A and B are shown apart, each in its own frame.
Chain A
Amino acid sequence: AQSVTQLGSHVSVSEGALVLLRCNYSSSVPPYLFWYVQYPNQGLQLLLKYTTGATLVKGINGFEAEFKKSETSFHLTKPSAHMSDAAEYFCAVSPFYSSASKIIFGSGTRLSIRP
């Protein structure tokens, strides 16, 4: 069975500060991992995804995430926060190479940026 835990339902950082959003997963098989962002009154947009290969994944808008199998983590980071980063972020997991799979989303982390 798979599950996703996002630590912290709300994170607040100052503009220009490091953004760190935490995600831990549980999966009995190698996972695909995703980060999505949702701006107010919009659907979700893919930030980045890990399938296989390089464990450090770079996404859009300067975000990146590192797959750490030993820690079952896939934390999202950005070196310098911008006001436009304020949104809700969702981590998601699905089993690798499973045609019968479905993606499991975390409960989301709302990111606020202080001027």
Chain B
Amino acid sequence: ELKVEQNPLFLSMQEGKNYTIYCNYSTTSDRLYWYRQDPGKSLESLFVLLSNGAVKQEGRLMASLDTKARLSTLHITAAVHDLSATYFCAVQRNDMRFGAGTRLTVKP
């Protein structure tokens, strides 16, 4: 069974700092997703990564995928308060399973 592990589960950052969220998964996958969720809201798609070495960037967020290590990272550069949210990775094979989520708080 596909298992997805995400860490850290909680992340408190200062504005302007950099940090990385990690997502490990147990079997080969077809696609890896990163989502953002604000409290009480649905999931907002951030990135979809398809192949080994894929790197995508949007603003202060950059996601990468290493299929050999079964590892994806979400790197946050110069964090700002607006990035405070919960971030999930999800791995798709015949289904789509989520990591536990990283609750990110960015403090001034």
A and B from one assembly?
no
Residues of A within 8 A of B (CB): none
Residues of B within 8 A of A (CB): none
